Each structure stands twice: as structure tokens, then as C-alpha cells.
Amino acid sequence: MRALPRRLGRARFDLCLVDSGEWVTPRVIRLLRQHATKVANYNIDDPFGGRDLARSTAYRKSVSSYDLCVVVRSENVDEAKRMGAKDVLRVFRSADEVNHAPRIPSAVDIERLQSDVLFLGTWFPERGPFLARLVQLGVPLTIRGANWNKAPEWPVLRDYWKGGSVQGDEYALTIQCAKLNLGLLSKGNRDLHTTRSLEIPALGGLLCAERTTEHLEMYVEGEEAVFWADAEECAAACLDLLADDERRRRIAAAGHARHLKNGHRNEIVMRTIVERALAGGLT
């Protein structure tokens, strides 16, 4: 807080957009208002849910201070309004036009990163039993991501873990070099879709995710993505698709085309947010 006035100097802006707002208190917003006509917040986490409740204390205290609060869960709309939000906009998460544009993997990339069924993501308690069950059902699994050594199922999953988090080109290529990409939700975060739901199809990967209302809104099941309700259905879908190269390619291509049509991309979403914030509380 002490460094912020010096950084801002005499600058003036039409809009200040706060990303997440984990550390931004009403006092900080009052300072921002001296430099910006409007102050908005965009939070893709679940600041009103159980998992991030403590971490989002400052955000909840600040909800009524923003001109616009942007959320990605339908239930967050009413929750924000009950805390005094002046205006609330709900959007889907989005993929990036540059970071999640398909690459052309080299032969070395393919040899190094190829996998059959990939889960790229951090360990959460509900994910360990699910992936361990896939292993038991014969799914040729690859896991990449942080904290998997904390899983009680680690003895079962250890041989399938191929390293921690990846970013940039390595992230994109890891997804592109997988035949199937699992989309697992965070139950503690009340997810019905995640950033992987957009990034995997954006990169041309085949999304194989939990069946939810939001996933079904995004993609046609069996044609643009593959959905499941439990580990058994997921394993059956994975094994069927691994035996059918042409069907996998067809679904992946259709999912990529649908993602582009849906417009769940950063530039489009940010344009929507900026227009709504500057419009001044239209509902």
C-alpha cells in the first residue's frame, strides 16, 4: 500500500481492473479512485465458497466498493449482490489467443511428450481416488502437475506422474501431444467448468471432462467433446477412443471449431468486461 501512490504518481485512467483482489481492501480501492474513473474486479476463483473463504476475506470486504464485479459462477452473482455489489457480470472463463494457439510439435516434442490419457493439473483430495480408479480400470494415464506426492493414493499414482507444473510452450505442447486430455473439476471451488475446458480445445486437444450443465452448454457431447459422470464411464470412454484414431481426430477438430465459435477467448471476454464497466451499471 505504501508503494502504490508512488507507482501511480499523477496518472489518470478511465478504468482500473483488479485481477482477483486477494489483497485489495476498500482502502486500496479508495486510492485507486483518485486515479481511475471506474474500478472493477474480475475473479475466476470462488470467493464465496468454502475452499477459498479465508484467502478471499479482503475481496468480500471490498465487493461493495467496486463499480463492477465479474464472476464465473452463476451462484456468485446473487452472493455478490447480497454483499452489496453495485453491478455483477457473469462470464465463462477463457483461453488466450496467443498462449493457447496450436503449435506445430517437432518430432522431438512428440517423442518427449506423447501420452495416451493426460491429466495436467494440481492435486486436490478428490482427484487422487478418481485417477487411482482409472489406473485400476486399465487406463494408460499420464499425470503432470504439482503436489501429487501429497495424495494418499501416491503409491498407486507414482509411476504415472511425469513431473510438475509446466507453462508456456511446454504447457501447450504437452496438451497437443496427448491423445486425450482429462478435464477434472475442483469440488471445493464449485466448478462446473475450468480454464482447461477452454484451453484444451483451443489448442486442438480432445477434451474428456466431467458432464456438467456448463460443459454441455459449451460443447455437443460425443461430437465436440467427451463427457462422463464417474471413473467407470470415463475409463470406458478413454479406452474406446484410444482404439479409434479417426474419431479422436474428428472430435478434437470439432471441439476446436466450437471453441472459436463460442468466443471464450481473453480478448473477447475482456472487451465485454470493459464495455460493461464503462457503461456504468447496466443490467
pLDDT of the residue at 216: 98
Tens of pLDDT, residue by residue over 222-279, are: 999 999 999 999 999 999 999 999 999 999 999 999 999 999 999 999 999 999 999 9
Number of separate domains in the chain: 2
**Whether residues 183 and 83 fall in one domain:** no
- 57 is in which domain, residue-wise? 4-92+265-279
**Whether residues 55 and 72 fall in one domain:** yes
Q: Does 33 fall in a domain?
A: yes
- Residue 161: pLDDT band with limits 50, 70, 90: very high
**Whether residues 130 and 146 fall in one domain:** yes
* Closest C-alpha among 257, 237, 234 to residue 248: 237
Enumerate the β-bridge partners of residue 88.
69
- Residue 1: pLDDT band with limits 50, 70, 90: low
Q: Does 98 fall in a domain?
A: no
**Whether residues 128 and 220 fall in one domain:** yes
* pTM of model > 0.85: yes
Cβ(196)–Cβ(120) below 8 Å: yes
**Whether residues 116 and 239 fall in one domain:** yes
215-224, long-range: CB within 8 Å, 24+ apart, which pairs? 215/183, 218/92, 218/193, 218/258, 218/259, 218/262, 218/264, 219/255, 219/258, 220/254, 220/258, 222/251, 223/251, 223/254, 224/251, 224/254, 224/255, 224/257, 224/258
